[in-house]
Chain A
Amino acid sequence: SAVISQKPSRDICQRGTSLTIQCQVDSQVTMMFWYRQQPGQSLTLIATANQGSEATYESGFVIDKFPISRPNLTFSTLTVSNMSPEDSSIYLCSGGTGENTQYFGPGTRLTVL
């Protein structure tokens, strides 16, 4: 199994600012993913974080709004740019291991005022 941690666990931000969320895995994983979970809803996949290349975004999500980095096999960041209140959500990362099971972080709870 893999243990995934995220920083920060929560934050309150002003509109127009940006927040970078960090995701750290305790072992090397092949794939990492970022999700958004809006209040009372299921998880929506934002993008696949590719190691050493640009992230692959799902429909409705763009790099300018959600830039992603993945410098190595255990770490990734997601930035929420130019935030508005509609960006208030929980953001989660996940990682796939050699057992082909995705493990999830605890999430970052973001509130935009």
Chain B
Amino acid sequence: DAKTTQPTSMDCAEGRAANLPCNHSTISGNEYVYWYRQIHSQGPQYIIHGLKNNETNEMASLIITEDRKSSTLILPHATLRDTAVYYCIVRVYASYDKVIFGPGTSLSVIP
């Protein structure tokens, strides 16, 4: 079973920040939070991951609460190309650990 809960869907105005929440209250000390997205008819794309500190890369920022029970993925200036299903996943930081997908959040960026 997926270890995370996310809203089913969200809308965001183009050019505004998209804030996607994720709850992972049962996360273990050695588990990281990963975010992937799947644009229609494509394979999932890795976005970002983190353990307990906030992380930022060229795609997004990841904010993890101090108790690590929830996190937020931030797309700072959403574009129409960011319309996708976003998956929040917790897993061990190791290539052998499986990526188990939940239902994710369907983000629609609106002109």
Contact = CB atoms under 8 A, between A and B. Distances in A.
Interface of A: 4, 29-31, 33, 35, 41-45, 48, 92, 94, 96-98, 100-107
11 contacts: A30-B95, A31-B95, A31-B96, A42-B104, A43-B44, A48-B98, A100-B93, A100-B95, A101-B34, A102-B99, A106-B42
B38 to A, nearest CB: 8
Interface in B60-111: 85, 87, 93-96, 98-104
Contacts of A105: 43
A18 B45 CA distance: 29
A107 B38 CA distance: 11
A98 B46 CA distance: 15
A94 B99 contact: yes
Contacts of B96: 30-31, 96
Interface string B49-60: 100000000000
Contacts of A41: 103
A29 B95 contact: yes
Contacts of B49: 101
B107 to A, nearest CB: 15
Interface centre among A29, A31, A43, A44 (most CB of B within 10 A): A43
A8 to B, nearest CB: 15
Interface centre among A29, A92, A101 (most CB of B within 10 A): A101
Contacts of A97: 95
B47 to A, nearest CB: 10
B46 A102 contact: yes
A30 B96 CA distance: 7
Contacts of B102: 42
3 tightest A-B contacts by CB? A96-B95, A104-B43, A30-B95
Interface centre among B43, B100, B104 (most CB of A within 10 A): B43
A105 B42 CA distance: 8
A106 to B, nearest CB: 5
A44 B45 CA distance: 16
